[in-house]
């Protein structure tokens, strides 16, 4: 069973819709032996008033996937548009009408597991129901003694499965020490991010987040929030390096990511942040973000597309894979 507690009926492998149980990879593949997997995580939101499902910045996620594949030297001739249509076909096949998290994996799928293989590259997709990622209104965090990966060893801006070994060590250490989550510093001692989410702080009324060159994953949510903060909320915003002790004295701190959305950080190393409650900037940004993502307000940035969960499955691509459905 999948971790969300709901097993999707179908997954998509190489543009074919296949039953969940048939989505396999060989144990001797490079994907498995060397972790040769890059991926994306993105969301779609169900709007009950409009009876419509909205995908959020899907094209931007697929563009990042292709960039990750390039750095990882994965071969293949993929386009963001075709990948997006495969994902939409999968969501329709599963007839999903609720908030979703979608995972797209690009991996080296051969069975002799040679380390230098650059292909063939397979694409797997899954769409699962997902509500809020964190059950609580915010998280208590620890500065990890693990350092965030740097460009000198593994490329931080590539969304690669093996990078998550670093993230997991930090997360599991934090949990073992009685915290909810971790914040990783980069090799230079500056704040980078959480194990799978970017970080923002508010200091003296100014919203700040580490720049793309401080070893962060260049998050699409981070980019969205920067834009909403500047253009919609008229906040002062700066991308700059952040010191550890600034977290202790910030008015607010919060994580953000496709899964985490906007999640307030209530304490860092047991220093209470912003009164230990979600702060006003985090709350306003979350509201503005969800209003667009859920299709409740005008989409002035062209971020969302309707997926029409209940549209007839009539496209040529879906029809071509219909044989796998039966």
Q: Is 236 part of the annotated catalytic residue set?
A: no
Q: Binding mask 248-287 vs ligand PLP (x if CB under 6 A, - otherwise)?
A: ---------xx-----------------------------
59 to 4, 194, 220: CA distances (angstroms):
25, 24, 11
| Shortest CB 216 distance to ligand PLP, Å | 7
45 binds ligand PLP (CB under 6 A): no
91 to 84, 153, 245: CA distances (angstroms):
11, 37, 44
d(CA 227, CA 70) in angstroms, rounded, equals 27
Contact 154, 43 (CB under 8 A): no
197 binds ligand PLP (CB under 6 A): yes
67 to 103, 121, 149, 203, 322: CA distances (angstroms):
16, 14, 18, 33, 31
Site for ligand PLP in 49-108 (CB under 6 A): none
Name which of 16 and 64 has its Cβ closer to ligand PLP.
64
193 binds ligand PLP (CB under 6 A): yes
| Shortest CB 172 distance to ligand PLP, Å | 15
d(CA 324, CA 326) in angstroms, rounded, equals 6
Name which of 99 and 110 has its Cβ closer to ligand PLP.
99
List 8, 215, 219, 274, residue binding ligand PLP (CB under 6 A): 219
| Shortest CB 86 distance to ligand PLP, Å | 19
Burial class (CB in 10 A: 0-12, 13-18, 19+), 248: middle
User: For every residue of 238-279, which 3-state class applies, written as one string?
Assistant: EECCCCHHHHHHCCEEEEEECCCEEEEEEEECCEECHHHCCC
Q: How many residues bind ligand PLP (CB under 6 A)?
A: 14
d(CA 249, CA 274) in angstroms, rounded, equals 8
Site for ligand PLP in 121-180 (CB under 6 A): 159, 167
Name which of 197 and 254 has its Cβ closer to ligand PLP.
197
210 binds ligand PLP (CB under 6 A): no
State both tokens at 3.
């971790």
221 binds ligand PLP (CB under 6 A): yes
| Shortest CB 209 distance to ligand PLP, Å | 11
Stretch that binds ligand PLP, among 17-25, 194-202, 296-304, 306-314 (CB under 6 A): 194-202
Which of 159, 175, 236, 313 is an active site residue? Answer: 159
Residue 21, phi then psi, degrees to nearest 5: -65, -20
| Shortest CB 316 distance to ligand PLP, Å | 31
| Residues belonging to the active site | 159
Interacting residue ranges for ligand PLP, rule: CB under 6 A: 41, 159, 167, 193, 196-198, 217, 219-222, 257-258
């Amino acid at each position: 069973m999948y971790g969300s507690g709901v097993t999707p009926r179908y997954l998509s492998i190489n543009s074919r819709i296949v039953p969940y149980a048939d989505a396999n990879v060989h144990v001797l593949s490079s994907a498995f032996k060397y972790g040769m997997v890059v991926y994306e995580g993105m969301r779609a939101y169900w709007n009950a008033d409009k009876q419509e499902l909205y995908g959020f910045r899907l094209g931007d996620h697929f563009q990042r996937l292709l960039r990750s594949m390039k750095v990882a030297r994965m071969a293949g001739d993929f386009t963001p548009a075709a990948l997006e249509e495969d994902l939409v076909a999968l969501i329709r096949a599963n007839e999903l009408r609720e908030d979703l998290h979608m995972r797209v994996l690009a991996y080296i799928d051969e069975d002799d597991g040679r380390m230098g293989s650059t292909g063939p590259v397979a694409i797997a997709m899954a769409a699962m129901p997902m509500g809020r990622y964190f059950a609580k209104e915010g998280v208590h965090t620890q500065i990890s003694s693990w350092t965030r990966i740097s460009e000198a060893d593994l490329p931080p801006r590539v969304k690669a499965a093996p990078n998550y070994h670093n993230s997991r060590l930090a997360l599991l250490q934090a949990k073992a020490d009685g915290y909810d989550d971790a914040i990783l510093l980069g090799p230079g001692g500056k704040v980078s991010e959480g194990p799978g989410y970017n970080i923002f702080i508010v200091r003296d009324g100014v919203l700040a987040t580490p720049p793309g060159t401080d070893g962060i994953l260049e998050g699409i949510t981070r980019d969205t929030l920067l834009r909403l903060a500047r253009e919609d909320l008229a906040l002062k915003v700066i991308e700059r390096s952040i010191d550890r002790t600034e977290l202790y004295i910030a008015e607010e701190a919060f994580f953000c990511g496709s899964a985490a959305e906007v999640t307030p950080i209530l304490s860092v190393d047991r220093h209470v942040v912003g009164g230990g409650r979600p702060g006003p900037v985090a709350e306003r940004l979350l509201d503005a973000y969800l209003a667009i993502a859920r299709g409740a307000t005008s989409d002035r940035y062209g971020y969302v597309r309707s997926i029409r969960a209940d549209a007839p499955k009539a496209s040529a691509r879906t029809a071509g894979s219909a044989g796998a459905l039966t």
